[in-house]
Structure 1
Amino acid sequence: MRKIGLLALLMILVGFSGFAQQSERNHAERFEQLGTMLRSPNVYRTASGAPGHLYWQQKADYVIDVELNDDNQSIKGAETITYYNNSPDVLTYLWIQLDQNQRGKDSETPKVTESSISRGMSLRQLQGILWHSDDYAYQLLDIKDENGNALPVALNQTMMRIDLPQPLKSGESFKFSIDWTFNIHDRMSFIGGRPGYEFFEEDGNYLYTMAEWFPRMAVYSDFEGWQNKQFLGRGEFALVFGDYEVNITVPADHMVGATGELQNAGDVLSSTEMDRWNKAKETFDAPVVIRTQEEAEKLEKGKSKDKKTWSFKAENVRDFAWTSSRKFIWDAMAVEQGGKNVMAMSYYAKEANPLWGQYSTRVVAHTIKSYSAHTFDYPYPTAISVEASNGMEYPMICFNYGRPDKDGTYSEAIKNGMIGVIIHEVGHNFFPMIVNSDERQWTWMDEGLNTFMQFMAEQEWDRNFPSRRGPAHKIAAYMRSDQSVLEPIMTNSENIIGFGPNAYAKPATALNILRETIMGRELFDFAFKEYARRWMFKHPTPEDLFRTMEDASAVDLDWFWRGWFYGTEPVDISLEQVAWYKLDNRTPKDRKADEEKAAKLDETNVSREANKGDVPQTFVEADPATRDFYATYNPFTVTSEDQKTYDDFVKSLSPEEKKIWESNLNFYELKFKNVGGLVMPIILEWQYADGSSEIERIPVNIWRLNEKEVTKVFAKEKEVVQVVVDPLRETADIDESNNYWPRQMLPSRFELYKRSNAVRGASTGSNPMKKAQNRK
C-alpha cells in the first residue's frame, strides 16, 4: 500500500468496520443556501438583517380608566385609543384583539381541543370537557369615535374589526373609545390561563393578575399586513408599541403593581410606605420592604369599602398588565443600569415567604444585569415580579410561581424552579417586550431566545444551577422522538405537539450550540447583540435574525438554520471504523526481522504442532536428494543490495521528507457515518497511551461533498488508545453508544417510583429542610 507520495504505509491494526449500504445520492441540500425560503429583502428589511431605510411601524396610545369589583370579581373599563398610521398604505378598517373572548361560552378553544373518556377521570378533566357555563367574554358597551359617534364593528371570536368612517391615510391618526366589562375567572380552575384571580379560602381574600384585560390593537406590518389570527390560548401576542396612561380603581386597602411608573404615590401610599419607597430608590445591596408581612396580614382581616385610584404611565410599551390584592407584601431595590437606576420589585402574599422575601427581587436585579450585558441596557424604569402560582410576562411586570410549604420549608427543586421562572419571565422584557417579535406566529422567537438567555443568566446566578434547558444533551430525548410527532421550529404555535421542547428548548439549545460550538462566544455575542440592538422597539422576523447573525459574524449559517429550524432530523454521528497506520521507515534489518516473525506466525497451526509428535520424520528430512538451494536459503537475511537500496532512498529525501520519515508518527484513519441526518461539526477526544488527552474539532464543512459518510486521516505523535466523538456532549447527539472506539457498552438505567400530582409551583419531592427542622 502506497500513501503520502513515496512513503509506504503498513496497516498495523484495523478497528471497527462496515458501513450501511448507501443510496445513490449522498450530496443533497443540507449545505444549499436558504435562498427563496426567506422573504426577499426590500426597502423595509435589508439583506443584512437590519431595518431598511424606509422601515415603518404603527403606534397606538392608550388612556384607560378601569375599576376592580372585589365583591363579584369583575372589572369595567373605558379606554381611548389614538392609532397612528405610519405605513405607506391607506387603511379602511382596524383590527382589535379581544383575547378575553377566548374564555367565553362560545369559545373555539374547547371545540378544537381533542378529548376522550378514560376509566378514571378527575373532576378537572371532566370540567375541561364541559368547559363552563359562566361567560367570561367581553361585554362591549360602547365603541365610538372622538366625536361620540357610534362606529360600525364586526365581531369574529377574539378579533373585532372597526370600519372607519373615512379612509385613514398614511401619516394620519384616528382616535376612538371602547367601554367594556367582563367577569374575572378563577385561573386556578380548569380554565387556567394567564390572567384571573386566586382565592385564598383561609383568609377570604383574592389576588388578581390582570392581563389581556382590555381591547388591544392588532399589529399591521410590512411583512404580513394585519396579524388577525385568532387567539386559541397557546399562541401569544403580536402587539403595537405606544404610550399608556392608566388609572386603576381598587379597594383602598389593596396594593397595586403595574406596568410603568406610579404617578400618585403620595395619594395611595401611607407616609411610612413613602419613606420606605424613597429609601428603596437609593438602596442597591438588598431589597427594602415597603409593605411588611405583618402589615399585609392585618389588612387581610378587614375589607375596606373605600376606594383608591392608582395612576400609572408607561412610554413605548407594547402592552399593560397589573396586579392587585390586600394580601401583598412589597419590596424593592435599585439597580444601576446604563447610567440610570431601575427599580427591581416584588409583590407576594405571606404564603410565598420566606422564599420570596429572600430571593425574588434579588433575582429580578440579577436578570436585568445579565440580560443587559448580552443585549442592550434595560431601558424601562421598573421590573416587577409577582408571586401568583403562574408564569407569564408583560412589560415591566410578570407573574411567577414558587411557594414553600405552610411551615416555611421548601425543597431545593421549588427554590430553583422559582428562580428559573423569575429569570425567564423578567427576561421576557427583552424578548418580546422590546425586541417585539410576533409570538402568535413564531413562538420560538421570544420563548426560544429568552430560554437561551435564561440559561446564561442561571449559570451566572449559580455555577451549579440545574438548568433544564440549554445544554445540548438535554434536547436529545426530544430529537430522537418518532418523526410523526416532530415539527420544525419554524411552525405556527397552534400546530406544535411537543410545545415546550419545540418552541422553548430546541431553539435555546440551537443558540447555545451556535455560541459554544459553531461560532464561538466572541463572534456569537457580537452578532446577537447586533440583532438585539437593531430590532429593539421594532418588529423583527426570523429572516432578520438569521441574516443579522451571518452579517455580523462572517459565518455562513444557512446549513444550520436549515437543519435546526426548518428540519426535524436529529444529530447522530457514528464513528464506524478506525484504522491505525505507521510509516514503514524500518531499516532492512528491522524489516526482515519483522517479516520473519510474521512468517513464523503465519505458518503456525494446530496440525503442524500435532505432527511434531505424530510424524517422527518427514520425507525431505529422510532423503537428502530432495534438498536444493532453498533448503538452506534464508529469505530474511539482509543483503548488500537491500541495504544499498535503503541507503540510497534515505539520501534522496529532502529535509522536509526526512523529517516526516524520522517522525515515527501514528496515522489514524477514521470513518464517520451521519446516521441522524443533521450535519454538525465532528468533535473528537483523543486519549493516548501515556494517559494524556486532547480535543480536536473538525468544521461542519467536512460533510459538504458527502452528507452521509466521510473519512479523515489524523497524524498523531502518540499512540491512541481511545477515540470519543462529542466528548463534552455539545452537539445533541441522540445515540452516544456509537461515539466510541473501541466500542463501549453504556447501561440504560430505569427507576421505579410513584408520581404524585401537585399544583404548579408547589413543593414536591424531597424536602431536606423540613426533615432537618423536624429533627430539632
Structure 2
Amino acid sequence: MIRKFTLSLLFAASLSGLSAQNIRNNPGSNHGNSFEQLGTILPTPNEQRTASGAPGAKYWQQRADYNIKCTLDEKKQLLTGGETVTYFNNSPDPLDYIWLQLDENEHSNVNNANYQSSSRMPAYMELKTLDRAQGTAADNGYGIKIIKLTDGQGRVLPYTVNKTMMRIDLATPLKPGQQFVFNLQWSYKIADRLVFGGRGGYEFFPEDKNYLFTMAQWFPRLCVYSDFQGWQNHQFTGRGEFALTFGNYRVQMTVPADHIVGATGECLNYSGVLTPAQLSRYNKARTAKAPVEIVTLAEAKAAEGKQASGTKTWVFQANNVRDFAWTSSRKFVWDAMAQPIEGRNVMCMSFYGKEAYNLYSRFSTRAVAHTIKTYSDFTIPYPYPVAQSVEAANGMEYPMICFNYGRTDKDGTYSESTKNGMLGVVIHEVGHNFFPMIVNSDERQWTWMDEGLNSFVEYLTEELWDNKFPSKKGPAHTIVDYMKLPKDDLEPVMTNSENIVKFGPNAYSKPATALNILRETIMGRELFDHAFKQYARRWAFKHPTPADLFRTMEDASGEDLDWFWRGWFYSTDAVDISLDSVKLARADVDPRIPGARTVMSKVDKPAVNAFEDISKVRNREDRKISFYTDRDTAARDFYWKYDRGMIPYNDKTVKQEIPVMIEQLGEAEKARYKDKYFYELSFGNKGGLVMPIIVEFTYKDGTKEVDRIPAQIWRHNEKTVSKFYVKDKEVAGILIDPMRETADIDEANNRWGGDSKKSKLQLFKERAGIARGQSSGLNPMQATN
C-alpha cells in the first residue's frame, strides 16, 4: 500500500510485538560484531523451514474456501452478506477453535483495537477530525454485526468477538486432515473513506450525487494458522495489514443495476450484466494490444445522470487467492487490453471516473500491463487471469485488483508530479500481486516484507517504464535524510508494523534501497536476480518469514550476506565512510644498503619447561610408563644430554655477525619502478554500518579510475582500515562513493584534493635467506665445540 501522510490527529498506535535485536558478539570491540553470523538471531531450521531458506519436507499451510453472497444498498450505504466457509486443517495440530478477522470493526468506536497514540491540541483542526476526537460512549453503528453463525448442519455455534478479532469455538477438536464448514451472516454500515480513513468504504461525489464503493476487508475471513507462530490474531489497528489463508472464492454481488463492478477473479456472467455492445468490446479487448473502452466515457457520464432503478447480480470466481476485493459505481469508464505472459493473455483492466479520464485512459492499463510483465521477469510468471487498476483516490492492493489515485484538474490538464505519482501508485499496487498476494508474507508482523520488497521491484519497473522516471524509492541517495536522523527517531527494519515511528522510510524506502544496493553494489545483477527469483519460486503461494528470504538469498547466490542483513535490517546504523588521510610516496630505487651487523649474544639455554607440570611428574613416577628415548638410546642426541645438564650451559657472550638479507635493484627493475606513485588511503567508519568502499581516482591528466573494495575489508577492524595502492600516474583527487550508491550520510568527508606531502619509499630485493625452520646464529652445539 502507498500512503499519503497528512497533518491531523492520528489515533493509530503501537502493537507490542516483534522487537528485533542486533545481537553483538563482542560488545565494545572494534571487531567480531558486524561480520558474525545471524545464527543467534534467526529461528532454528526445522522440517517445515530448512537452513537453505526453502520450505521443508513437512511444510504445511491451511486453506479456506468461501462461497459469499452480498447485497449493496447504495441509499443506506449498507452491505449485508452471508458466507459459507470450508476450512481445511492441513496442520499436524488438533484445533479447539478458529480465529477470524473482523477488520471493519476498525471504524467502530466500541470494537476497534483501541491502540491509542500520544496526541496534542494543534493550532488548527479540520472539523471532521475534531468530531472524531470528541468521541462518544454510544455505539456509532459501524463495524460488523454478526446476525447468525451455524455449522454445516445448521447448529448454532458459540463465538467471541474481541475487538477486531472473532473466535469460533468448536464442539469437538478439528483434527489434522479434517474440514470444518460454517455459515455466517453479517451486515455493516459502510464508512465514508474520506472521513474515517482506511482502505474500504465509499467516496461521495456531490456534483453528480454518485458513490464510488471500494469494498475491502469487507467480510469476516480466516486468520493464518502457521508452523512458526500458531494463530496470527493480532488486532487490526489500521496500519499493519494482513496475514491471510489461500483458498478458492465464489462471490455474488447484488448492486444497483447501472453499476459497473470490478473484482478479484473472473466474472462468470458478463453476458447477463453487460449490454451487447459492451460485451462485444470486452471480447475485442481480450486480444487487443492497446486499451479498448468497454464502458465509454459517454456511457459513464450518461449513467451518472440517470441513476436507474433495480439491481443486478455479478458473479466472480477466483482460485488460489488469499483475499477478495471489489469495486462498484455507475461512474466508471472501463478499459482493457491483453498482456501476453508465457503464451497466455492476461486481461489488464482499469476502472475510473471522468475526473481521472485524461490520465487513466492513456496510462493506467498500459502501466498495469507493463507491471505484470516486468515483475514476471524478475520473479515468477504472473499466474492469474486478470490484473486491474481502479482510480479511487486511494492506494491499496488486493489479488488481481487494486485501488489507486491520480485525477486531473477540472479542464483535464495535470501536472507532471500528478502523472508520475499516478504511474508510481499503479505500478506499486499492481506489483503487490506478487508481494504479498502470491509470496504471502505476514504484513501484520513484517510490513517491510511486502512493502519493502514490492517497493524495490516497483523501482526496477519504474526504471524500465522511462529512463527519466523520478523514482523516490530505491536509489541510495534518496534514503540519506532518513538514515542521518537521530537514533531516537529510528528503529530497525525488523520492527513490528505497529511500533514504527517513521513508517514510510522504514518499511518502504530503506528495505527497497537496501535490496537495490545489494543488487547493484554488493552482489551484482546476475547473482542477485537469480537468488531473488529463487525466493519467489520457493515461496509462491506459501507463507515466508524474513529468515526464509535471508537464507534463500545466500543459498542461491553463494554469498555470505549475514553482515548485510545485520547492518541494514537489524540495526539503526548509517553509512558514513570517511577518507581520513592520504599518504603519497615516490620510489627510491637506490637506497643505501647497510653492511652486515655485528652483535653480542648468548647461546640458547636448554629448551625445557621452566616448571614441571603435574603430568610430567606423575609420568616419571609411574613405573608402568617408559619413554621412547629410554627404550631407544639412538634417539638421544647432544640436546638430550644438554637438557639434563650432562653438557654444561655456556653462558659466555659471543660475537655474531648478522648478514644483510637485502640487495640493490637491477637496472631493469629500477626502470620498472622509478616512475611509480605510491598511496596509502586511510578510511574511517563513522556511521557504524559496514559497506564496500568505492574509491574514484582522478589523475592529473584528467582520466579516472574506480576501485571497489568489498565490505569484508572491515572484518578485522570495523572502525578504521587502510589500503596501499601502486599507480602509474600522479593522482589529483580522490572521491569516495562517486555514484552515491551506498547511502553515505556525510559526503563532506569523502574527498581528497591532492595536497599530501610526498615522501620516499625505499625499494630493494630480498636475498635468498634462511629456510623456514632452519636455525640462525650461534647455537649451543657450535658454542660447545
User: What TM-score do you get using the length of structure 1 for normalisation?
Assistant: 0.83
How far the C-alpha of 1:649 sits from its partner, in A, is 2.4
C-alpha separation in 1, matches of 2:685 and 2:135? 48
Query: What is the identity, as a one-letter code, of the residue corresponding to 1:184?
Result: I
- Which residue is equivalent to 1:9? none
| Equivalent residue runs for 1:185-334 within 5 Å | 185-189=191-195, 191-284=196-289, 286-334=290-338
Match of 1:508 in 2: 512
Unpaired segments ≥5 residues, structure 1: 1-22, 589-644, 745-776
Structure 1 position 88, deviation (Å) = 0.7
Q: 1:398 to 1:679 in 2, by over 3 A?
A: same
Return the alpha-carbon distance in structure 2 between the equivalents of residues 658 and 53 of structure 1: 66
The answer for the alignment partner of 1:362 in structure 2 is 366
Q: Which residue of 1 aligns with 2:566?
A: 562
Shift of 1:127: 3.1
Please state whether the residue corresponding to 1:650 is helix, strand or coil: coil
1:35 is paired with a residue whose SS is coil
Number of corresponding residues: 659
| Closer, same or farther: CA 57–102 of 1 in aligned 2, 3 Å | same
The amino acid that maps onto 2:234 is: K
Alignment of 1:500-579 (within 5 A): 500-579=504-583
1:168 counterpart residue number: 174
Following the alignment from structure 1 to structure 2, what is the Cα–Cα distance between the partners of residues 86 and 743?
68
Match of 2:185 among 172, 179, 188: 179
2:722 matched to 1:707?
no
Deviation at residue 304 of structure 1 after TM alignment: 1.9
Map residues 367-766 of structure 1 onto 2, 5 A cutoff.
367-585=371-589, 649-651=664-666, 660-662=672-674, 664-742=675-753
Match of 1:152 in 2: 158
User: Is contact 1:737-1:743 (8 Å) kept?
Assistant: no
Residue 160 of structure 2 aligns to a residue whose secondary structure is: strand
* Equivalent residue number for residue 40 of structure 1: 44
Q: Residue type of the partner of 1:150?
A: V
Distance 1:648 1:542, change over 3 A: closer
Provide the identity percentage. Answer: 60
CA 67–572 in structure 1, closer or farther in 2 if over 3 Å, else same: same
Q: Distance in 2 between matches of 1:472 and 1:128?
A: 40
- Preserved CA contact (<8 Å) 1:110 1:131: no
1:715 Cα deviation (Å)?
1.0
Higher relative contact order, chain-length normalized (CA < 8 Å, sep 6+)? 1
Letter in structure 2 aligned against 1:312: F
**SS of alignment partner, residue 194 of structure 2:** coil
SS of 1:447's equivalent in the other structure is: helix
CA positional deviation for 1:130: 2.7
Retained in 2: the 8 A contact 1:455–1:469? yes
Deviations 1:166-206 (A, max 9, x none): 111111100001100000011011x2111100000001100
| CA shift for structure 1 position 317 | 0.1
Matched-pair contact (CA < 8 Å) for 1:198–1:206: yes
**Separation of aligned partners in 2, 1:413 and 1:743:** 42
Q: Partners in 2 of 1:246 and 1:108 — Cα distance?
A: 27
Summarize the alignment of residues 109-124 of structure 1 with structure 2, pairs less than 5 Å apart. 112-124=116-128
Q: C-alpha separation between the residues in 1 aligned to 2:323 and 2:557?
A: 33
Q: Which amino acid aligns with 1:55?
A: Y
Contact 1:248-1:311 at 8 Å conserved across structures: yes
Matched residue SS, 2:374: helix
Which residue matches 2:140?
Answer: 134
Report if aligned partners of 2:590, 2:665 keep a CA contact under 8 Å in 1: no
Q: Relative to structure 1, is the Cα distance of residues 337 and 383 closer, same or farther in structure 2, using a 3 angstrom cutoff? A: same
Shift of 1:25: 2.9
- CA distance, structure 2, for counterparts of residue 672 and residue 107 of structure 1: 56
1:350 aligned to which of 324, 342, 354: 354
Letter in 1 for 2:673: W
Alpha carbons 1:110, 1:129 under 8 Å: kept: no
Q: How does 1:11-26 map to 2 (within 5 A)?
A: 25-26=29-30
Please say if 1:84 is aligned against 2:84: no
CA contact (8 A) 2:99 2:222 kept: yes
TM-score w.r.t. the length of structure 2 is 0.82
Whole-Å separation in 2 of the counterparts to 1:362 and 1:445: 27
Cα deviation code 1:450-487 (max 9, x no counterpart): 00000000000000000011000110100100101110
Partner AA of 1:221 in structure 2: S
- Give, in whole Å, the separation in 2 of the partners of 1:222 and 1:72: 43
Residue identity in the other structure for 2:345:
N
2:767 is matched with which residue? Answer: none
8 Å Cα contact 2:71/2:255 also seen in 1: yes
- Given that 2:262 and 2:327 are in contact with CA atoms closer than 8 Å, whether structure 1 keeps it comes out as yes
Secondary structure at the aligned position of 1:174 is classed as: strand
Q: Is the 8 A contact 2:589 2:670 kept in 1?
A: no
Question: CA 1:585–1:257 in 2, change beyond 3 Å: closer, same or farther?
Answer: same
Retained in 2: the 8 A contact 1:115–1:129? no
Gaps of 5+ in 2: 1-26, 593-659, 756-785
Q: Note the alpha carbon deviations across 1:404-463, whole angstroms, 9 max, x for none.
A: 101001000000000000000000000000000000000000000000000000000000
Residues 30 and 650 from structure 1, CA distance in 2 versus in 1: closer, same or farther, beyond 3 angstroms? closer
Deviation at 1:36, TM superposition (A): 2.0
Secondary structure in structure 2 of the residue aligned to 1:167: strand
Task: Quickly say closer, same or farther: Cα 1:488–1:29, change in 2 above 3 A.
Answer: same
Partner Cα distance (1:650, 1:479) in 2: 52
| Structure 1 match to 2:340 | 336
User: For each residue in 1:360-393, what CA deviation from the matched residue of structure 2 results, as whole angstroms up to 9, or x when unmatched?
Assistant: 0000000011100000100000000000000000
The amino acid of 1:138's aligned partner reads: I
